[in-house]
Protein backbone atom coordinates (compact mmCIF):
# COMPACT_ATOMS: atom_id res chain seq x y z
CA UNK A 1 0.00 0.00 0.00
CA UNK A 2 1.32 3.41 -0.98
CA UNK A 3 0.25 6.33 1.20
CA UNK A 4 0.79 9.98 0.32
CA UNK A 5 1.98 12.18 3.20
CA UNK A 6 1.61 15.94 3.33
CA UNK A 7 1.60 18.54 6.10
CA UNK A 8 1.83 22.25 6.78
CA UNK A 9 0.32 23.47 3.52
CA UNK A 10 -0.70 26.82 5.11
CA UNK A 11 -3.07 27.88 2.33
CA UNK A 12 -3.71 30.81 1.65
CA UNK A 13 -0.75 32.23 3.62
CA UNK A 14 1.76 30.31 1.48
CA UNK A 15 -0.12 30.93 -1.77
CA UNK A 16 -3.58 30.56 -3.28
CA UNK A 17 -3.32 26.83 -4.04
CA UNK A 18 -1.17 23.74 -3.75
CA UNK A 19 1.69 23.48 -6.22
CA UNK A 20 0.89 21.23 -9.20
CA UNK A 21 3.92 19.11 -8.29
CA UNK A 22 2.07 17.86 -5.19
CA UNK A 23 -0.57 16.15 -7.33
CA UNK A 24 2.02 14.60 -9.62
CA UNK A 25 4.13 13.34 -6.68
CA UNK A 26 1.11 11.74 -4.98
CA UNK A 27 -0.30 10.05 -8.10
CA UNK A 28 -1.20 6.40 -7.56
CA UNK A 29 -1.42 6.40 -3.76
CA UNK A 30 -4.27 4.53 -2.04
CA UNK A 31 -4.64 7.05 0.81
CA UNK A 32 -3.53 10.62 1.54
CA UNK A 33 -2.67 11.63 5.11
CA UNK A 34 -2.42 15.36 5.86
CA UNK A 35 -0.67 15.97 9.18
CA UNK A 36 -2.30 19.34 9.81
CA UNK A 37 -2.04 23.08 9.32
CA UNK A 38 -3.98 23.10 6.07
CA UNK A 39 -5.75 26.31 7.21
CA UNK A 40 -8.62 25.94 4.72
CA UNK A 41 -10.82 22.90 4.17
CA UNK A 42 -10.44 23.26 0.39
CA UNK A 43 -7.01 21.61 0.65
CA UNK A 44 -8.66 18.29 1.55
CA UNK A 45 -11.14 18.69 -1.31
CA UNK A 46 -8.27 19.37 -3.77
CA UNK A 47 -6.47 16.21 -2.59
CA UNK A 48 -9.61 14.00 -2.59
CA UNK A 49 -9.50 13.13 -6.33
CA UNK A 50 -6.12 11.46 -5.72
CA UNK A 51 -7.36 9.10 -2.97
CA UNK A 52 -9.35 9.18 0.28
CA UNK A 53 -7.95 11.86 2.61
CA UNK A 54 -7.63 12.01 6.40
CA UNK A 55 -6.25 15.00 8.31
CA UNK A 56 -4.97 15.75 11.80
CA UNK A 57 -6.11 19.15 13.01
CA UNK A 58 -3.07 21.40 13.33
CA UNK A 59 -2.48 24.26 15.72
CA UNK A 60 -3.34 26.64 12.86
CA UNK A 61 -6.56 24.82 11.97
CA UNK A 62 -8.88 26.58 14.36
CA UNK A 63 -12.60 26.29 13.79
CA UNK A 64 -12.95 30.07 13.65
CA UNK A 65 -11.48 32.86 11.50
CA UNK A 66 -8.28 34.43 12.87
CA UNK A 67 -6.49 37.71 12.38
CA UNK A 68 -3.76 35.87 10.44
CA UNK A 69 -5.92 35.55 7.28
CA UNK A 70 -7.02 32.06 8.33
CA UNK A 71 -10.72 31.55 7.60
CA UNK A 72 -10.96 28.64 10.02
CA UNK A 73 -11.28 24.93 9.34
CA UNK A 74 -14.78 23.68 10.18
CA UNK A 75 -15.55 20.31 11.67
CA UNK A 76 -15.33 17.65 8.99
CA UNK A 77 -15.45 13.84 9.28
CA UNK A 78 -11.98 13.64 7.68
CA UNK A 79 -10.41 15.76 10.43
CA UNK A 80 -9.56 14.64 13.97
CA UNK A 81 -6.98 15.78 16.49
CA UNK A 82 -5.26 12.47 15.83
CA UNK A 83 -5.95 9.29 13.89
CA UNK A 84 -5.04 5.68 14.68
CA UNK A 85 -5.19 3.35 11.67
CA UNK A 86 -4.40 -0.32 11.24
CA UNK A 87 -2.81 -0.77 7.82
CA UNK A 88 -0.97 -3.79 6.41
CA UNK A 89 -0.33 -5.20 9.90
CA UNK A 90 1.00 -1.91 11.34
CA UNK A 91 -0.64 0.52 13.75
CA UNK A 92 -0.17 4.04 12.40
CA UNK A 93 -0.80 7.15 14.47
CA UNK A 94 -1.10 10.59 12.86
CA UNK A 95 -1.14 13.88 14.72
CA UNK A 96 0.12 17.37 13.96
CA UNK A 97 2.79 17.92 16.59
CA UNK A 98 4.80 15.04 18.03
CA UNK A 99 8.13 15.20 19.88
CA UNK A 100 11.12 14.84 17.58
CA UNK A 101 14.52 13.30 18.23
CA UNK A 102 15.90 16.58 19.59
CA UNK A 103 13.21 16.88 22.30
CA UNK A 104 13.37 15.35 25.81
CA UNK A 105 10.08 13.47 25.33
CA UNK A 106 11.82 11.41 22.63
CA UNK A 107 13.59 9.52 25.42
CA UNK A 108 10.27 7.99 26.53
CA UNK A 109 8.01 7.71 23.48
CA UNK A 110 5.32 5.79 25.36
CA UNK A 111 4.12 8.96 27.12
CA UNK A 112 3.45 11.02 23.97
CA UNK A 113 2.02 7.93 22.23
CA UNK A 114 -0.43 7.44 25.08
CA UNK A 115 -1.30 11.14 25.04
CA UNK A 116 -1.89 11.43 21.28
CA UNK A 117 -3.01 7.94 20.33
CA UNK A 118 -4.10 6.21 23.55
CA UNK A 119 -1.75 3.34 22.80
CA UNK A 120 1.59 2.36 21.36
CA UNK A 121 1.84 2.69 17.58
CA UNK A 122 4.37 1.30 15.11
CA UNK A 123 4.43 4.34 12.84
CA UNK A 124 4.02 8.04 13.69
CA UNK A 125 3.11 10.52 10.95
CA UNK A 126 3.32 14.14 12.05
CA UNK A 127 3.97 17.67 10.85
CA UNK A 128 4.36 21.03 12.59
CA UNK A 129 8.10 21.59 12.13
CA UNK A 130 8.03 22.07 8.33
CA UNK A 131 11.21 19.97 8.30
CA UNK A 132 11.17 16.58 6.57
CA UNK A 133 12.26 13.65 8.72
CA UNK A 134 12.36 9.86 8.48
CA UNK A 135 13.74 8.16 11.57
CA UNK A 136 13.27 5.16 13.82
CA UNK A 137 13.72 4.59 17.55
CA UNK A 138 12.91 1.57 19.66
CA UNK A 139 10.90 0.02 16.84
CA UNK A 140 8.83 3.18 16.23
CA UNK A 141 9.08 4.55 12.68
CA UNK A 142 8.47 8.31 12.44
CA UNK A 143 7.81 10.31 9.29
CA UNK A 144 7.34 14.04 8.92
CA UNK A 145 6.84 14.94 5.23
CA UNK A 146 7.89 18.56 5.81
CA UNK A 147 5.94 21.25 3.99
CA UNK A 148 5.23 21.49 0.24
CA UNK A 149 4.81 25.27 0.43
CA UNK A 150 6.86 26.62 3.37
CA UNK A 151 9.78 24.23 3.79
CA UNK A 152 11.88 24.80 6.90
CA UNK A 153 9.57 27.77 7.70
CA UNK A 154 11.13 29.81 4.91
CA UNK A 155 9.43 32.02 2.35
CA UNK A 156 6.88 30.31 0.08
CA UNK A 157 8.67 27.94 -2.30
CA UNK A 158 8.53 24.33 -3.42
CA UNK A 159 9.16 21.99 -0.50
CA UNK A 160 8.50 18.33 0.21
CA UNK A 161 5.86 15.61 0.53
CA UNK A 162 6.30 11.96 1.44
CA UNK A 163 5.36 8.49 0.32
CA UNK A 164 4.94 5.72 2.88
CA UNK A 165 5.02 2.21 1.47
CA UNK A 166 3.56 -0.57 3.62
CA UNK A 167 3.33 -4.31 3.13
CA UNK A 168 3.03 -6.94 5.84
CA UNK A 169 6.40 -6.89 7.62
CA UNK A 170 7.73 -4.05 5.43
CA UNK A 171 7.66 -0.27 5.86
CA UNK A 172 9.58 2.37 3.97
CA UNK A 173 9.26 6.12 3.61
CA UNK A 174 10.55 8.41 0.91
CA UNK A 175 10.73 12.20 0.98
CA UNK A 176 10.03 13.81 -2.40
CA UNK A 177 11.52 17.22 -3.13
CA UNK A 178 8.93 18.94 -5.31
CA UNK A 179 11.56 20.90 -7.24
CA UNK A 180 12.62 17.54 -8.69
CA UNK A 181 9.11 16.56 -9.83
CA UNK A 182 8.74 16.95 -13.59
CA UNK A 183 5.35 18.17 -14.78
pLDDT at residue 111 in the model: 92
Report the pLDDT value the prediction gives residue 65, as an integer from 0 to 100. Answer: 66
Report whether pLDDT(155) > 90: no
Instruction: Provide the residue ranges of all domains of the chain, joining segments of one domain with +.
Output: 2-180
Mean pLDDT of the chain: 93
- The predicted structure's pLDDT at residue 52: 98
Does 102 have pLDDT greater than 90?
Answer: no
End-to-end CA distance of the chain: 24
> Which residues have CB under 8 Å from 94's CB, separation 6+?
33, 35, 54, 56, 82, 83, 85, 124, 125, 126
Nearest to 127 by CA among 61, 73, 67, 40: 61
pLDDT mean over 35-63: 94
pLDDT above 90 (res 71): no
| CATH 3.60.21.10 at 2-180, yes or no | yes
- Average the pLDDT over 18-35 and give the result: 98
Task: Please compute the mean of the pLDDT values over residues 5-23 and round it to a whole number.
Answer: 95
Amino acid sequence: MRIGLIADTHIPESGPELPRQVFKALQGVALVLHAGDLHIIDVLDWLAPIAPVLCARGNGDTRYPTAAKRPGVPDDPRIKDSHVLELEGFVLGMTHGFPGPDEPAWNNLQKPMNFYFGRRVDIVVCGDTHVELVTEKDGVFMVNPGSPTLPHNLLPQLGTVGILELRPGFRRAEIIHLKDVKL
